[in-house]
């Protein structure tokens, strides 16, 4: 059974094209402790931590039943994490990998006008909200990149987990792939 977001129905967020604009802390050291999920009010767990924490389990699923709006954001982040790993797998030199990850913040822009974009099936396009959604997703991508960089290259324990994470670089969550512009 897939790991759905615990923020479904809890987070009172503004919706942008049907996607919740959920709060998260910027420049946060990731918290991947699953015990934090049990008591959200006393933890600093956010949707980005949750997505990264359950990435390695959720990526194996070919189906993912959406149980709320937060799951739509979890799907987006999961697919973006996979794209980050794919980029790192192609160049494991830490300096170049970090640069390539930073480039993903801009090149993985969501555009509802691109046919076949995986996220189109989850988004209810409202033209007046598209720009705000794109800006929000860019801030999400930036924070995901910061946390992935920390986990894989800058953590106190070093790059010990890098090889384990990179084994997931070719997995496709529900067959989705993140489009990028060059």
pLDDT in tens, 14-34: 999 999 999 999 998 887 766
Q: Return the pLDDT at 153.
A: 85
Q: Return the pLDDT at 90.
A: 78
Residue 179, CB-side half-sphere exposure with 13 Å CA sphere: 13
**CATH architecture assigned to 42-175:** Orthogonal Bundle (1.10)
**Averaged pLDDT score across all residues of the chain:** 87
Residues 145-152 have a mean pLDDT of 91
Q: Is residue 45 scored above 90 in pLDDT?
A: no
Are 39 and 143 in contact by the 8 Å Cβ rule? The answer is no
Per DSSP bridges, beta strands 19-21 and 14-16 are: antiparallel
**What distance in Å separates the CA atoms of residue 136 and residue 96, rounded to the nearest whole number?**
26
Tally of CB atoms within 10 A around 23: 9
Are 148 and 52 in contact by the 8 Å Cβ rule? The answer is yes
**Residue listed under structure tokens 């993140």:** 178
Q: Is residue 77 scored above 60 in pLDDT?
A: yes
Q: Write down the H helix ranges in 150-169.
A: 162-166
Are 6 and 37 in contact by the 8 Å Cβ rule? The answer is yes
Q: Return the pLDDT at 38.
A: 62
Q: Is residue 87 scored above 80 in pLDDT?
A: yes
pTM: predicted TM-score of the whole model, two decimal places: 0.91
Q: Return the pLDDT at 2.
A: 83
């Amino acid at each position: 059974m897939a790991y759905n977001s615990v923020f479904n129905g809890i987070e009172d967020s503004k919706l942008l094209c049907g996607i919740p604009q959920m709060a998260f802390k910027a420049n946060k050291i990731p918290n991947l402790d699953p015990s934090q999920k049990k008591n959200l009010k006393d933890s600093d767990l956010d949707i980005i931590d949750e997505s990264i924490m359950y990435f390695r389990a959720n990526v194996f699923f070919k189906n993912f039943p959406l149980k709320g709006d937060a799951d739509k954001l979890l799907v987006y982040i999961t697919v973006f994490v996979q794209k980050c790993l794919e980029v790192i797998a192609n160049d494991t030199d830490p300096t170049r990998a970090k640069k390539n990850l930073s480039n993903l913040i801009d090149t993985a822009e969501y555009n509802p006008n691109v046919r076949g974009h995986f996220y189109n099936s989850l988004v209810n396009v409202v033209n007046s909200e598209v720009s705000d959604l794109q800006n929000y997703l860019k801030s999400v991508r930036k924070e995901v990149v910061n946390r992935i960089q920390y986990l894989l290259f800058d953590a106190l324990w070093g790059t010990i987990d890098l090889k384990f994470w990179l084994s997931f670089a070719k997995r496709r969550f529900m067959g989705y792939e993140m489009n990028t512009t060059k």
